[in-house]
Structure 1
Amino acid sequence: MHDDGEALQRAYDFRESSRRSFLIGSAATALVAADLVTTRVIQGRREATRILPLDDEEARARFPNDRWVLFPGYKTSWEEGLWILNSLRPALSRRAQMAVMGYSNRGLDINNVVATMNRYVENFRLERLYFYGHSFGGMVAVEVAARLRDRGIPVELILLDSSPSSRYDVRDQRMFDGVVRLYEAGVRVPISVRGTYELGERIVHKNERTWSQIVDQTLEQLSPLAPSSELIQTQSSYIYHFDVARFRLSLGDTKVVFAGNPDDGVVDYATARSGWARSLPDNVVSVDLRTEGALPAHASPQWNPLVYQGVVSAVQREYIPVPRGGGWKRFF
């Protein structure tokens, strides 16, 4: 009788355990399915490439037809792009109004970015353009500037903030190599999986961030406002295939300035610096500006506004004189 009681208890425990396992498995499946649905919703909300203005009344009054346009870096949302731009506002607003290029969640399409920029110039009858390339955004800024010049729209200056000149400047090759392979195989990465990876990657590179920054940057990738996985994968593919040599003769008189940090753990400061100077010898006017003291060391104006405002101010004093009179005036 005792053995029969134990057998019945084991059977009951097994049933309860199986029931719990089934419920846990079902919940996990539902979570992944919900995550995939959320990903599609995010993509649907931001399907179109848009240029997002950062309003500044004084800059609007002083520079009605001049713009600084920020090209956000890898995995940067529209909101974070505006945050970065607002961090630079005290310096940038001394020369122009400001806006952020908002990439489509359907994926990075350079043709679409160029067309959007072209319409923006025509709609606002812009006279001068300055580009701020935030990390990988510097690659995009250079190509867009070259292609706009083909349309008769010159860009006065491009400021590259810790931008790699090629995929070989990216320290962790495994990071975007894997994402590129998944993208080219047609695989989308769910947001929850991406968030877990982001947390692990940032903890590994803890020396570059505070714990508060680690938490904030990881949660950004889980936010319903985060860039889509498709956008991130196409950005990775763009970095992987970028060839700056194609634009050596395409930038005309555009000045290019590189600023970076020797302690950068994401992009190799030395190779990126020399890569831009070597590849665009007729355009690069400076590679000597540094963002020393910034934490994280890689492209972080939103966390270190005073450091980056100082760099921007130095660039503007040297290469963007304050317009006087009507001698510079022209409409593209």
Structure 2
Amino acid sequence: MTIATYPMDYVPPHDVVKSLEKGCEGHGLDPLAGRLADLRAFLASDLDEVDLALAQVGVGGQTVAHASARHLLGQDGKRLRPICVALAAYAGRGFGDAARTYAVAVELVHNATLLHDDVVDLGARRRGADAARVIYGNAASIFGGDWLLVEALCRIQKTGNAEVLARMLEVIKEMVIAESMQLGRRGRLDGSRAEYFRIVDGKTASLFRWAMFAGAKAGGVSPEGCDALVEYGKKLGIAFQLVDDVLDVAGDPETTGKAMLADLGEGKMTYPLLLAMERCPELLPLLEAACRGEEVRADVGARVSSTLRASGVVDDCLALARRMCAEAIAVIAPLPDGIAKTALEAVARATPERRK
């Protein structure tokens, strides 16, 4: 295994497993926290290699596209998708060169979508820092995202697995369609649950599905095992987005790095807001104003958050996330017992408890 040698200016990313562990500790899930601590130690050398590769992406590039991409990659990312690649690979023969390439590629694609999203949403902050578009401009952020997408596809192509590449191309198409659907509904408070989940599956869950598939193929997992891991990725991705939606309306902005009701201010319909429209009609004027782009005062945001908690919206959204994670655990039950399966179960149980 290669020994990671880091550039002098390299800063390790946020450790998502450690974050999940802390969330569990705060919710009476100490045994699970212990499992996640073991997982962090188990994947340490593999994730170090992924982080080193990401730290070198775009180094030496002289354009604003490179600078924009490097700015985001240098921020405090969760790296959950590379973790999914690694764990899926360990469901087979382990984390080799192909799995490492896929882990890097999935993170590049994820970051590319964030660079694009910030332009579409006019986002000013990302991961607690100024968004790349604020520093380098909208065009640079778009070109930076485009460059990361091409870089990811080139890396996948070099592994020689046509099926993994074809699936990534399909995922990118799904994400574009889902983002377009969301854009078409911007500023409207009349969305349906079915439409919400179609968007989430294409926008968020699709990349989790690919991470599990790519890792499984790299690890030589059986076709049946691949199918189970892909379904796991879909359910985990949906749960992950549901928790993101809850954090938007009831999270701590200091912890999440986003202003409260940021998604609503960008005209996006989320699951908590769909429930709020049904249960809290007194909030409709405030929600409509925010959806039109009017600034949400801190006291108004606090009122909305308090009302959603009191009405059970927050609890019900988290309950759905937990149910999706329970289903994710169930679909991988046929996989052979081992540390990879145990780790995937631990990540699923911990995901609804995250606070960032």
State if a TM-score over 0.5 links the two structures. Answer: no
TM-score with structure 1 length normalisation?
0.28
Higher helix share: 2
The structure number with the bigger radius of gyration is 1
Higher strand share: 1
TM-score with structure 2 length normalisation?
0.27
